[in-house]
Amino acid sequence: NAPIPHLAPALRDAGIDRSFLQDVLGGLSAPRKHLSAKYFYDRRGSELFEDITRLPEYYPTRTELAILDRYGPEIGAGLAPGAALVEFGSGSTAKVRRLLPHLSDLAAYVPVDVSEEFLRSEAEELGRDFPHLRVEPVAADFTKPFPLPDDLKDAPKAGFFPGSTLGNFEPELAAGLLASFARTLGSGATLIVGIDLVKDKAVLDAAYDDAAGVTAAFNLNLLTRINRELGADFDLDGFSHQAFFDENLGRIEMHLVSRRSQLVTVAGVPFHFGSGETIHTENSYKYTVPGFRALARGAGWEHARVWTDPDGLFSVHALTA
């Protein structure tokens, strides 16, 4: 990646996250500009996402929680007694809290997240609320196979991947991720995964372009983060939020649209934006139940059960390896 040597020397040792910088320079240099959705979640971005989950138009979070509440006993009954429960990309522990009351005799709860600081504080809080639960946080990038704590080697394994986070990955990468979970958990494991479903375009469009403008603020915050962390000069008024469901690709696309022809500098590197040119910031794939089943099978998982809400908005699946 060529741009790095051109960096202003002052920036080199200024505590800049080099992989973030490299990804941003690479994404903005591409013929169709793009940024990775994983960078939305700085402190402000995580707060804005929490606000999104409470919006009237954003149905996924509350619908998934209702499914976990309603079918928790069934979901829990499908997991082996004495299992170690591994949550991939745990973030906040709101969802596992709905499951834990239905899981008897867990060997341990293993939240896995890259953000070590957040992981520890959430783990401590969970330990206080569930005093008999062994909480064993692992700081790791869940997109690659990683070792589980040694003494859990012989425990049956269950994985938990709620929130339709899988939807952020291209289908081939999503299948690769499911295969990687199988490798981490081992044969005989169960995986509980939350998947948002294909539905009416108007409902989907509204969920990602809410009337209060919270999703717009969430999308634009990525530019604020790049300005602050990578010494860029994006003018926030120069870009607007765009989100739509592409029925052919089965995904929501989010973009930031340049409102005029303009030049933006990131860590000393100039980028031109034409009027109406976009930065593609996120994909959120939606599946049908059979479509997700096929994806899981292709990744080596047997489809065991599916639970949905009465309106068929969201789904929770149990897979076995």
Q: Which of 84, 282, 299, 317 binds ligand AVJ (CB under 6 A)?
A: 282
284 binding ligand AVJ? (CB under 6 A): yes
The answer to whether the beta carbons of residues 41 and 49 sit under 8 Å apart is yes
Q: Which is nearer to ligand AVJ, 8 or 249 (CB)?
A: 249
242 vs 265: CA distance, rounded Å? 22
Instruction: Write the DSSP string, 238-300.
Output: GEEEEEEEETTTTEEEEEEEESS-EEEEETTEEEEE-TT-EEEEEEEE-B-HHHHHHHHHHTT
Binding positions for ligand AVJ, 150-179, rule CB under 6 A: 163-165, 167-168
63 binding ligand AVJ? (CB under 6 A): no
Number of chain positions touching ligand AVJ (CB under 6 A): 11
Q: Are strands 157-161 and 190-196 parallel, antiparallel or unpaired?
A: parallel
Minimum distance, C-beta of residue 63 to ligand AVJ, in the bound complex (Å): 12
Minimum distance, C-beta of residue 16 to ligand AVJ, in the bound complex (Å): 26
Q: Which is nearer to ligand AVJ, 58 or 136 (CB)?
A: 58
Minimum distance, C-beta of residue 284 to ligand AVJ, in the bound complex (Å): 3
Q: Which is nearer to ligand AVJ, 60 or 156 (CB)?
A: 60
Minimum distance, C-beta of residue 35 to ligand AVJ, in the bound complex (Å): 13
Binding positions for ligand AVJ, 33-62, rule CB under 6 A: 52, 60
Contacts 24+ apart (CB under 8 A), 116-120: 118/91, 119/90
Binding positions for ligand AVJ, 212-271, rule CB under 6 A: 215
Nearest to 97 by CA among 55, 164, 160: 160
Half-sphere exposure at residue 84, Cβ-oriented, CA atoms within 13 angstroms: 23
Strands across the sheet containing 157-161: 138-139, 108-113, 84-88, 157-161, 190-196, 314-320, 302-308
Minimum distance, C-beta of residue 52 to ligand AVJ, in the bound complex (Å): 5
The answer to whether the beta carbons of residues 282 and 164 sit under 8 Å apart is no
Binding positions for ligand AVJ, 102-161, rule CB under 6 A: none
> Contact positions toward ligand AVJ, by CB under 6 A?
52, 60, 163-165, 167-168, 208, 215, 282, 284
